[in-house]
Amino acid sequence: MNLFHRPRRNRKSPAIRAMVRETVLTPSDFIYPLFLHEDRGDAEIASMPGCRRWSLDGLVQEAGKAHALGIPAVILFPVIAEGLKTPEAEECANPEGLVPRAVQALKAAHPSLVVITDVALDPYNSDGQDGLVRRGEDGSLEVLNDQTVEVLCRQALCHAEAGADMVGPSDMMDGRVAAIRTALDGASFEGVSILGYTAKYASAYYGPFRGALDSAPKDGDKKTYQMEPANVREAVRELLLDEEEGADMVMVKPAGPYLDVIAALRDETTLPVAAYQVSGEYLMIKSACAAGWLEEKAVVMESLTGIKRAGADVILSYFAKQVAQRLG
């Protein structure tokens, strides 16, 4: 053939392919999500093979290993004992609670590790919703916005007092970023950052996570506050609000099925964009690989590269440590 253009020339050797590679993952791209519980031992999570509920000691060790591999940050998800869950979710702001103790232990052991906490009521709330619930006489369920935001502010302050570097409101209540910013600043925590879960969708991919924390809603769903999966303009609207309200970083969640949303936010904002490869995305890869149908290493790298290529500056992934190990 008399071809003038032969794109294959740029793929002809590993060296040339490396030279023209547009997207490169590094350990510093990642935030490592970790589950913790009050028990002494570490426990495998049935719904998320390869992930554990860590004891405080186990958590400090695991975070230390990840940090030594170059991962800058962890985000914490607590399993709260059933007996501590109440309709008002008071435990979420208990200074002696599991999360504040974990933050203190992590910062004491690894001062340079960025410790991020999740701000939402679902692990603490006997209804399993991210906010406070009011039930109508007809059995209908309403998740209250403004009352919830007050509790979220107390929760964020409690995490800041324990030494958290960053709080991540994942609740999707309106106005919570501004309210949390004001509460933090009012208590002289100007240095504590806010990672807004800006475009968090009402996703079926969260199932394994709710199993990991026993935090599934007791009834109803989360569709009156988490976003409709069909929408992308609405994500931009949430972005503009979170920017205005003072978020330091914005997030898209889940990641893989929402690459267009990541790209849209990347186009619209100068803030760093984070994306969360959630439990269902993790489990799909894990189970297909356990069955021998996909090759884990390659699929993990490809899924994460795709998320970064779409525009994510930061990726939350249960694969973070494994990937950092491979890149190191």
DSSP element (H, E) containing 325: helix 320-327
269 binds ligand PBG (CB under 6 A): no
Q: How far is the CB of 210 from ligand PBG (least distance, A)?
A: 6
From residue 214 to residue 253, what is the string marking binding to ligand PBG with x (rule CB under 6 A)? --------x-------------------------------
User: What's the token pair of residue 144?
Assistant: 């209250």
Shortest CB 276 distance to ligand PBG, Å: 6
Helix locations, 110-190, DSSP H: 146-162, 176-186
Exactly one of 124, 189, 201, 209 binds ligand PBG (CB under 6 A); that residue is 209
253 assigned to active site: yes
Q: What single string gives the DSSP state of each residue in 124-140?
A: TBTT--SSEEEE-TTS-
Q: Judged by CB under 6 A, does residue 189 bind ligand PBG? A: no
Which range in 94-102, 117-125, 140-148, 288-296 contacts ligand PBG by CB under 6 A?
117-125
308 is catalytic: no
Q: Applying CB under 6 A, which part among 87-95, 100-108, 116-124, 179-187 lies near ligand PBG?
A: 116-124
Give the dihedral sign, CA 244/245/247/251. negative
Burial (0-12, 13-18, 19+ Cβ within 10 Å), 223: exposed
Q: Residue 197's closest CA among 250, 118, 123, 254?
A: 250
Number of residues that bind ligand PBG (CB under 6 A): 11
Tell me if 107 contacts ligand PBG by CB under 6 A.
Answer: no
Does position 319 bind ligand PBG by CB under 6 A?
no
Kindly state whether residue 130 participates in binding ligand PBG, applying the rule CB under 6 A: yes
Closest of 284, 121, 148 to residue 218, by C-alpha: 121
Give catalytic residue positions. Answer: 200, 253
